[in-house]
Amino acid sequence: MSPRLRGYALFAAVGLLVLVVAPLTLPAFRLDELAKYLCLAIAALGIGLAWGQGGMLTLGQGVFFGLGGYAMAMYLKLHDAGGDLPDFMTWSGVERLPALWKPFANPAVAVAAVVAVPVAAAVVLGALVFRQRVRGAYFAILTQALAAAFVILLVGRQGLTGGTNGLTNFYDFFGQDPEAESTQRTMYFVTATVLGALYLAARQLVRSRFGRLLVAVRDGEDRVRFLGYNPATVKTVTFAVSAGMAGIAGALFVPVVGIISPSLLGVVPSLELVVAVAVGGRYALAGAVLGAVVMNYAKTSFSEQWAGGWLYLEGALFILVMTLAPKGAVGLYEQARDALARRRPAPAPVPDRPKTEEVPA
């Protein structure tokens, strides 16, 4: 079987597992949890694209996740309120619907905003910082500060955003009760399908001319510039795509979990997503997805057993991965496979497979 064919077979196998086996065997409550992990995996996919392929370590992905999530939640809140003020505005002392909320009464606008707002924010930020060649550590720290500032802003404007409570208690998600088991199930399938589609799209992007340019920018930005390309554009576009993915993830998160709040968007959750990507393997898009699901699953199940220990485990795991296996689980898998292949009495070698090893940070 050619590697390419084997790849598709694997994709199909994973798809089968996620779309058929899991829903048949998992209890509703666990399926809902898995749906949450898949949402986070969508955001992780965006990080994989920006960081793994493009070398932009974005520590503020929570911002875009939040923008998408709030766009969706605002519509749901307005819909539930049915012309009145959303419940939290009443107890925050807001008397008239703020202008910012008005467009979100329209579901089409809200759904469009889920992608458009994060993308626009990323384009503005990206255009500002990348054009000035702010990169590497500077960029990482700026995005981190952005996440911190975003949370402060959200929390501080309680009448507009629900403050620390965030937005919760939705009754009607496009005609369904979001807490009903059937809706949860549907949402699971929707999330899984969206993740699959975005994964394939991202993969296509990486394999395209643009993708090659992106990797080139990652590995030698100045050289790419000398060749006549504009790295700022390449980076901004990629950053915007990853922001859009985070926005979609946030929007799906709202019906799946039933809440969006600033505590999901700050410095720590944003970092945790990056951690997950690193553990899964940042240079492969599948690694990002895998990492997000595994790490979040581990977090949930581990904190069920030993609450304080999770921090030790997460910290230790992370130190180990970064020192011993910077390419994450996928990297380990590839290493093992290559080692195995070497030991075997050399079957037909795969001559046209370029080495993917030489990837500096």
Q: Does 354 bind another protein (CB under 8 A)?
A: yes
Chosen residue from 203, 235, 245, 273 binding another protein by CB under 8 A: 203
What is the size of the binding site for another protein (CB under 8 A)? 114
Among residues 103 and 185, whose Cβ is nearest to another protein?
185
Q: How many CB atoms lie within 10 A of CB 229?
A: 15
Q: Which residues pair with 167 in a beta bridge?
A: 260
Site residues for another protein, 319-338, by CB under 8 A, read 319, 322-323, 326, 329-330, 333-334
Chosen residue from 47, 76, 155, 248 binding another protein by CB under 8 A: 155
The terminus-to-terminus CA distance of the chain in angstroms comes to 33
Among residues 96 and 108, whose Cβ is nearest to another protein?
96
Q: Which stretch binds another protein (CB under 8 A): 60-68, 115-123, 202-210, 236-244?
A: 202-210
Instruction: Give residue for tokens 């020192």.
Output: 323
Least distance from another protein to the Cβ atom of residue 165, Å: 5
Site residues for another protein, 228-287, by CB under 8 A, read 257-259, 261, 263-264, 267, 271, 274-275, 278, 281, 284-287
Chosen residue from 152, 197, 201, 341 binding another protein by CB under 8 A: 152
Least distance from another protein to the Cβ atom of residue 327, Å: 10
Least distance from another protein to the Cβ atom of residue 112, Å: 25
Least distance from another protein to the Cβ atom of residue 109, Å: 25
Give the closest residue to 289 by CA, choosing from 98, 60, 40: 40
Reported for 174-182, long-range contacts at CB under 8 A and 24+ positions apart, including other chains, are 174/107, 178/76, 178/255, 178/258, 179/258, 181/28
Strand ranges (E), 206-280: 259-260
Among residues 248 and 264, whose Cβ is nearest to another protein?
264
Site residues for another protein, 92-131, by CB under 8 A, read 92-93, 128-129
Give the closest residue to 236 by CA, choosing from 136, 144, 113, 122: 122
Strand ranges (E), the chain: 167-168, 259-260
SS3 37: helix
Chosen residue from 1, 99, 108, 137 binding another protein by CB under 8 A: 137
Q: Does 225 bind another protein (CB under 8 A)?
A: no
Which structure tokens are listed for 255? 């019906």
Among residues 67 and 206, whose Cβ is nearest to another protein?
206
How many Å separate Cα 149 from the centre of its chain? 20
Chosen residue from 111, 116, 120, 168 binding another protein by CB under 8 A: 168
Q: Per residue in 61-85, is it b (16+ CB within 10 Å) or e — as a string?
A: bbbbbbbbbbbbbbbbbbbebeeeb
Among residues 123 and 140, whose Cβ is nearest to another protein?
140
Among residues 169 and 233, whose Cβ is nearest to another protein?
169
Q: Does 81 bind another protein (CB under 8 A)?
A: no
Which structure tokens are listed for 83? 């012309």
Give the closest residue to 60 by CA, choosing from 133, 157, 136, 140: 140
Among residues 102 and 212, whose Cβ is nearest to another protein?
212
Least distance from another protein to the Cβ atom of residue 348, Å: 16
How many Å separate Cα 40 from the centre of its chain? 5
Residue 1 to residue 301: CA distance in whole angstroms: 37
Chosen residue from 144, 161, 236, 242 binding another protein by CB under 8 A: 144
Give the closest residue to 47 by CA, choosing from 65, 35, 34, 32: 65
Site residues for another protein, 287-316, by CB under 8 A, read 287, 289-290, 293-294, 297, 300-301, 303-304, 307-308, 310-312, 314-316
Query: 215 vs 4, 238, 256, 361, CA distance in Å?
Result: 21, 11, 34, 11
Among residues 241 and 290, whose Cβ is nearest to another protein?
290
Among residues 118 and 269, whose Cβ is nearest to another protein?
269
Among residues 112 and 124, whose Cβ is nearest to another protein?
124
